[in-house]
Amino acid sequence: MRKNRLVILLGILCLVLMLAALPLTTACAPEEEVGGEPIVLKSCSLFPTDNKLMIAYHMFVDSVNEKAKGELVLDWMGGPEVIEGFSQASAVQEGVLDMCYVFPLSYGGLVPIGEALQKSQIPPWEMRENGAYDLIRAEHEKVGLYWLGKEGQTGDYFVLYLNEKIENPRTDLAGLRCGDGTIARHFMEALGITPVRIDYSEAYTALERGTVDGWAMTIVGNMGYGFHEVEKYVLDYKFLSADFSVLVNLDVWNSLPKHLQTLLDETKAEVEKGFDDGYSALADEEWQAMIDYGMEPIPISPEDAKWLDEVCYKAEWDYLLEVLPPDVGPAIEELLTK
């Protein structure tokens, strides 16, 4: 009898100890999950790390890495020295890269609606609300890309850097050859300029040797490449906005846990709005620095600026409406135009 009671008591004691240990086991589970291998997304950018056009992207990467607390790591591998800039969107599509940060116009042949972004007169936070983001994302997803968004770089625009002084933009630009890297080529053609696609790594030599008469680029970042050393003039007319796309491989995006997708989306939106004025200040600073260096601005009358605007937007939208599906082109034009 005593032996049976002892066995029963030992059994009860073991059961109590097991039940007492359950809360401890449950409490330890999250720590084991957090301590697992992080999800690493490898990315590249059109520009090298020290270019001012990289500031907003580095802010985004740093913010995501801080918030993710080791669960997700955005690993920026470098710029065009890793993968040629105009090939990065295709590299993301094919899974060679997980992400990239590029001009929308650098992959317009892959996703034509990308070319609409730099024609936008609407800031990105309004695009999120009026349906433009949804439409743009749907077009990217057709080719295996998730469009995370664009940088809110209102305040920085494209300009024409020239090595020949002109007097009348309505007539004197015709016949020039300008490197464009696919930027505003339809606008240039409408002006009689011959656009020449040149990679950023080759532009300095092309300008120095006179292979081209000019170069279309943003204000911010021009001096980072040293182009101001081989450019004599800058047309004081700003066209199209200097925006960038952050692209993610669609399969990679769909494989991410929902809370990490939300983290990426929300952080992207924060940077878009948080650094909106930053590029405007940088553009003013770099414009003055180029003038101080010795580059001569070519003034444009208000009448000529208005005429250039009309030529620019008509040429760029006419092309885009031809290549976009009929149910997409007019809709995105309306969403992006004030």
Report the top-level CATH class of 39-153+243-277: alpha beta
pLDDT of residue 181: 59
pLDDT of residue 229: 96
- Residue-wise pLDDT for 260-287, tens only, equals 999 999 999 998 877 666 778 888 999 9
Question: Would you place residue 103 in the very low, low, confident or very high pLDDT band (cuts 50, 70, 90)?
Answer: confident
CA–CA dist 331, 326 (Å, integer): 9
Of the ranges 50-54, 77-81, 154-158, 266-270, which one carries the lowest mean pLDDT score? 154-158
Across 255-284, b (16+ Cβ under 10 Å) vs e yields ebeeebbebbeebbbebbeebbebbbebbe
Token readout for 89 is 């969107």
Nearest-CA neighbor of 102 among 140, 53, 52?
Answer: 53
Provide the pairing of β-strand 194-196 with 177-179. Answer: parallel
pLDDT of residue 52: 81
- State the average pLDDT over residues 104-127: 88
pLDDT of residue 156: 76
Do domains 39-153+243-277 and 157-242+279-336 share one topology? The answer is yes
Homologous superfamily (CATH) for 157-242+279-336? Bacterial extracellular solute-binding protein, family 7 (3.40.190.170)
Question: Would you place residue 157 in the very low, low, confident or very high pLDDT band (cuts 50, 70, 90)?
Answer: confident
Phi-psi label, residue 95: left if phi above 0, alpha if psi -120 to 50, beta otherwise: left
pLDDT of residue 35: 55
pLDDT at 292 over 70: yes
The residue extents of the domains of the chain are 39-153+243-277, 157-242+279-336
pLDDT at 153 over 70: no
- Residue-wise pLDDT for 192-233, tens only, equals 999 998 877 889 999 999 999 999 988 988 898 899 999 999
pLDDT at 85 over 60: yes
- Residue-wise pLDDT for 62-71, tens only, equals 999 999 999 9
Question: Would you place residue 338 in the very low, low, confident or very high pLDDT band (cuts 50, 70, 90)?
Answer: confident
Q: How far is CA 234 from CA 134, 161, 182, 244, 283, in A?
A: 37, 4, 19, 23, 14
